[in-house]
């Protein structure tokens, strides 16, 4: 078969593509759309079917390099032989799944009975990692809702919170992102979120304070405009069996 110049060029292009790291392919797609890809952004819209497997392989090979740079004998240390693969799987499929996987499906229903009272959910356990050190942030989340025209099943709040927190974060931004998602899903008249979490970058390293937790909250809509409603939410949280008073 005669190879024409255009075939040669095509071959070269294909070879270049296959040499390219899948993370570069995904990153370029995001840049082309002028979107952000910070640690706490979800980038699942830019990952095509089958590419997450390729990304997992790439991450494993980079973790292998990291272990080598830490002068760990990954060839002979039986405890470290599969560590790179385990860490890559853990990052992409478990602890940071909220970056690489789409939001769980949430169906909304009309607020048929025009429920107008606030309700509070919690504690919902949340797990994340700090963007600064990539070590765990583990805590509890309480959500207060004053419904609007739409409602969603209560278990969905836990699923969405898990999805949002399963990314590298700083706590203040995690709470804001969760609030944005809940507002998008059920457009409540009021929304309050409180998170109390332990940061392992404070208790495992650095100042090594094992008992310090960080609490932050966000109030929107009626919870923001009506101080008595805000007060009611914090009282409800405080009075729950696993409320803040137990810490
Ligand atoms: Zn940290």
Distance 149 CA to ligand 1 centre (A): 39
Distance 100 CA to ligand 1 centre (A): 22
Distance 127 CA to ligand 1 centre (A): 14
Bridge-based pairing state of the strands 190-199 and 108-110: unpaired
The chain-wide mean pLDDT, for the chain, equals 91
Residue 247 is predicted with a pLDDT of: 40
How far apart CA 100 and CA 43 sit, in angstroms, is 6
Phi and psi (nearest 5°) for 167? -150, 160
**Confidence tier at 4 by pLDDT (50, 70, 90):** low
Distance 17 CA to ligand 1 centre (A): 36
Distance 140 CA to ligand 1 centre (A): 18
**Confidence tier at 244 by pLDDT (50, 70, 90):** low
The whole-model pTM stands at 0.89
Residue 112 is predicted with a pLDDT of: 86
Contacts of residue 144, defined as CB under 8 A and 6 or more positions apart, other chains included, come to 118, 119, 120, 121, 190, 191, 192, 193, 223, 233, 236, 237
Range 8-35 average pLDDT: 80
Distance 133 CA to ligand 1 centre (A): 4
Range 55-59 average pLDDT: 98
How far apart CA 65 and CA 76 sit, in angstroms, is 15
Distance 144 CA to ligand 1 centre (A): 28
Distance 167 CA to ligand 1 centre (A): 13
Distance 204 CA to ligand 1 centre (A): 10
Question: pLDDT tens-digit profile of 86-123?
Answer: 999 999 999 999 999 999 999 989 988 888 899 999 99
Angle CA 158–162–167, to nearest 5: 160
Distance 126 CA to ligand 1 centre (A): 16
Strand blocks (E) in the chain: 108-110, 119-130, 136-146, 150-152, 168-169, 190-199, 213-221
Distance 155 CA to ligand 1 centre (A): 30
**129 forms bridges with which residues in the sheet?**
136, 168
Distance 51 CA to ligand 1 centre (A): 29
Residue 246 is predicted with a pLDDT of: 40
Range 190-206 average pLDDT: 95
């Amino acid at each position: 078969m005669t190879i024409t110049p255009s075939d040669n060029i095509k071959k070269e292009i294909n070879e270049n593509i296959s040499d390219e790291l899948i993370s570069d392919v995904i990153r370029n797609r995001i840049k082309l759309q002028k979107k952000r890809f910070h640690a706490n952004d979800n980038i699942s819209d830019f990952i095509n079917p089958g590419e997450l497997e390729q990304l997992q392989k790439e991450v494993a090979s980079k973790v292998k390099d990291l272990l080598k740079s830490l002068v760990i004998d990954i060839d002979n240390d039986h405890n470290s032989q599969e560590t790179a693969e385990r860490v890559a799987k853990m990052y992409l499929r478990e602890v940071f799944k909220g970056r690489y996987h789409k939001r769980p499906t949430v169906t909304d229903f009309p607020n048929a009975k025009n429920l107008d009272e606030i309700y509070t959910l919690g504690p919902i356990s949340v797990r994340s990692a700090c963007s600064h050190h990539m070590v765990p942030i583990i805590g509890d989340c309480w959500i207060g809702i004053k419904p609007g025209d739409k409602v969603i099943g209560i278990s969905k709040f836990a699923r969405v919170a898990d999805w949002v927190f399963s990314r590298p974060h700083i706590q203040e931004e995690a709470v804001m992102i969760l609030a944005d998602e809940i507002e998008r899903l059920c457009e409540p008249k009021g929304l309050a979120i409180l998170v109390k979490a332990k940061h392992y970058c404070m208790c495992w390293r650095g100042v090594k304070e094992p008992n310090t937790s960080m609490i932050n909250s966000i109030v929107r809509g009626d919870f923001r405009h009506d101080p008595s409603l805000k007060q009611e939410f914090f009282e409800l949280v405080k009075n729950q069996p696993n409320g803040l008073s137990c810490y």
